[in-house]
Amino acid sequence: MRWNVLSWLVAFLVYLNSAQATNFTPLTHSSPKEAGVFIDHLFSVTEVMVTDVATPPGAARFYAYATLGAYAVVADLNPDGGNGALYQSFVQPFSISIDGSSKKNLNIEFCATYCMLEVGKSIMPSGKNLISSQEKLIDQYVKDRKIRKSDISRHIAYAKQVAGQVVAYASKDGYGKLSTLRRYSPSPRPGRWYPTPPAYMAAIDPEWRTLRTFFLTDLDGYYPAPPVPFSDKPESPFVELLNEVYSVTSQLTDEQKLIANFWDCNPFFVSYSGHMAIGIKKISPGGHWMGITGIASQQAGLSFAETVQIHTVLALSLHDAFVSCWAEKYQSDRIRPITAINKYIDESWQPLLQTPPFPEYTSGHSVISRVSARLLTDYFGDNFEFTDTSEVYFGLPERDFTSFLQAADEAAISRLYGGIHFRDAIEEGVRQGDKIADYVLSLTGKNTFSAIPPVNN
């Protein structure tokens, strides 16, 4: 089922003035070794996000545009582009325009990877840290004699042209206006979200729903069922949810603790030593699934172009999934377990995981993990066994899975073990993710697509 996803991803990008077609021919040129170079440098982007403490939605946006830059290059320079079947854009408003004379005899892999880093350098707060990665890439290609040193500047110039057009497109997605929107204030109503210990941070990204999406044409069709209504009455469904979190977290097995910590992915974790607050660097939920995508790509021996394609489709889908989830979070504005349990059950109770700073419903990890697992399953097939080493860099052991869906189910239930989500937020989050994945996968085979609004370049 690998090409099911790619048939519409390939149509997402660059319009090359070729005849319209509905069939997709997958990209297969270049070697898995080159794909590994791309994956390594994408992790450099991840490291900058960790340094910047990028929010989960923000990280997904950075991944989306960075990988989009790489894919734009692959689409533009693909040697098979003249067959009239590969690179028509389903999203006509987004295209790149590069003079043909500047594209002759360019190394696709170098330009795509350099462009990805250039986009990241331009849109991330500490993006300049990627300069060293770009220099490393240059040295590598010159040393291996894949590009003559005298020809490097021409490759860089092309990659920067593409990156500039992607960054210009990104600048019109609404991100720059977020700071001008009305600030979120916690509601005094019972059952509403309130900043949680230990840092009592303000709510993160309350207006993220206003950002432009890549695939979802609107958000209305992806809202989950309403959460269980808040009540402090002992026999109410909400108190049952509350008691479940309290009970489960009070008797966790070692395996459940390991699962909770493995999927924590909380970039806002704060540790205190006396009066000193210390931020502990962690990967974002989206970053974890981008890591899994890289692991699967290398295990399957994908070519460079295939690797760029699947990373791009996942990143764009992660972005849309976070927009959808965050729209619900600030619509339902639901209280976190730690606030409710401390008030109504046990004032000394602490969850295993530190609660992130935004409303509870739905579980973001449940939503984006389900979307990711569905897309990867569609691409790589059912029962794709892999060892997830995404968290080794952050001090956690590797973990084996028999399928992407098994991993997603574990990520979802980890939020209950960690004490940061109620069961309905987890289960409805999975359903929300399924809705989004269903829509993305339904785009297969269509020769028109208007998810992205027109952009005035």
Contact 443, 215 (CB under 8 A): yes
Tell me if 20 is assigned to some domain.
yes
Separation of alpha carbons 217 and 451, rounded Å: 5
Tell me if 392 is assigned to some domain.
yes
Tell me if 223 is assigned to some domain.
yes
Taking each helix axis from N to C terminus, what angle separates 304-332 and 56-77, rounded to the nearest 10 degrees?
Answer: 150
Q: State how many domains the chain has.
A: 1
Q: Of 27-36, 102-111, 227-236, where does mean pLDDT reach its minimum?
A: 27-36
Per-position DSSP letters for 276-310, written without gaps between them: EEEEPP---HHHHHHHHHHHHHHHTT--HHHHHHH
Tell which residue, 375, 114, 413, has the closest CA to residue 244. Answer: 413
Tell me if 200 is assigned to some domain.
yes
Contact 80, 30 (CB under 8 A): no
| pLDDT the model gives residue 418 | 97
| pLDDT the model gives residue 277 | 42
Tell me if 452 is assigned to some domain.
no
Contact 105, 158 (CB under 8 A): no
Separation of alpha carbons 126 and 212, rounded Å: 23
Tell me if 72 is assigned to some domain.
yes
Tell me if 456 is assigned to some domain.
no
CATH code for the domain of 241: 1.10.606.20
Tell me if 424 is assigned to some domain.
yes
Q: What is the pLDDT of residues 373-403, one digit of tens each?
A: 999 999 999 999 999 999 898 888 999 999 9
Q: What is the pLDDT of residues 356-375, one digit of tens each?
A: 999 999 999 999 999 999 99
Please tell me the pTM assigned to this model: 0.89
Helix (H/G/I), strand (E/B), else coil: 340? helix
Q: What is the pLDDT of residues 73-100, one digit of tens each?
A: 988 887 554 322 233 333 335 677 887 7
| pLDDT the model gives residue 75 | 83
Q: What is the pLDDT of residues 110-120, one digit of tens each?
A: 999 999 999 99
Burial (Cβ within 10 Å: 0-12, 13-18, ≥19) of residue 150: exposed
* φ, ψ of residue 400 in degrees (nearest 5): -95, 140
| Residue ranges making up the domain that contains 254 | 2-442
| pLDDT the model gives residue 394 | 84
Across residues 30-54, what is the average pLDDT?
88
